[in-house]
Amino acid sequence: MATITERALAATIDHAILKPEFTRADVDAELDIAAEWKVFSVCVRPSDIPHAVRRLEGTGVAVGTVIGFPHGTTSTAAKVAEVRQALADGASEVDMVINIGWLRSGFDEQVVADIAAVVDAASGHITKVILETALLDDEQIARGSRLTEQGGAAFVKTSTGFAGGGATVPHVELMRANVGPDVQVKASGGVRSYADALAMLGAGATRLGTSGSAVILGEARRVDAGEQAIGAVDATSY
């Protein structure tokens, strides 16, 4: 992918506000960044959902959250309860962590059932399934992607950002190759620059999870301005 406009890129970004040490002031600063740059959504800690919904009211920025985060090892019943509470608090999307141990163990039926229960609890709201690719080999990533589709989720996602590794182009390509056209790919973790964003979108991602929205979109804005300036020069040469 050569370039993408600032506005088109912002429409792919879920601005991550998930660090456990964040104070309310830290959260507010990040919410304000999301509103300023008009990203698609924020992804906040479950306890921050009601506040985020209030603060972002009227901005057009959606509020999403995480389920079973960051390890994916909570029970299916607990994940379902988290989803129901998140929706009641105003979240519009949920990003659940797959049961990584089950996936690595080859417990495919249990993995699908876990995902399907969350999708059902989400009642039509978008569900994304985080594989945590840094902890998986290629076979597990490919199989996890297929199980995500079997469970009915809308997205398969690379990473939490809390497992020592994030999205890579080969992993995004592998995920894209193992799901059908109705399932999208979210690249998350380590997406920190405009070049990173372009690489992930070029590999097949349609959504980006990042805490570096201002940096990425600032770079996109400068690219936009440069292209417009070049266009203006070209126009005067005829």
pLDDT given for residue 53 in this prediction:
98
Top-level CATH class of 6-236? alpha beta
Q: Which sequence spans correspond to the domains of the chain?
A: 6-236
* 3-state SS assignment for residue 138: helix
Selecting among 48, 79, 186, 196, the annotated active-site residue is: 186
Instruction: Please report, in tens digits, the pLDDT of each residue of the chain (238 residues total).
Output: 778 999 999 999 999 999 999 999 999 999 999 999 999 999 999 999 999 999 999 999 999 999 999 999 999 999 999 999 999 999 999 999 999 999 999 999 999 999 999 999 999 999 999 999 999 999 999 999 999 999 999 999 999 999 988 999 999 999 999 999 999 999 999 999 999 999 999 999 999 999 999 999 999 999 999 875 544 434 343 3
- Reply yes or no on whether 157 is catalytic: yes
Residues pairing with 41 in the sheet: 14, 62
User: Which residue in this structure is represented by tokens 């960051």?
Assistant: 70
Do residues 167 and 200 touch, judged by C-beta distance below 8 A? yes
pLDDT given for residue 234 in this prediction:
44
For residue 142, give every residue at least 6 positions away whose Cβ sits within 8 Å of its Cβ, in sequence order, or none: 174, 175, 177, 178
Burial 101-129 (b: 16+ CB within 10 A, else e): ebbeeeeeeebbbbbbbbbebbeebbbbb
Report the predicted TM-score, pTM, of the whole model to 2 decimal places: 0.93
Selecting among 48, 79, 114, 157, the annotated active-site residue is: 157
Selecting among 95, 114, 128, 196, the annotated active-site residue is: 95
Q: Within 10 Å of residue 218's Cβ, how many Cβ atoms?
A: 14
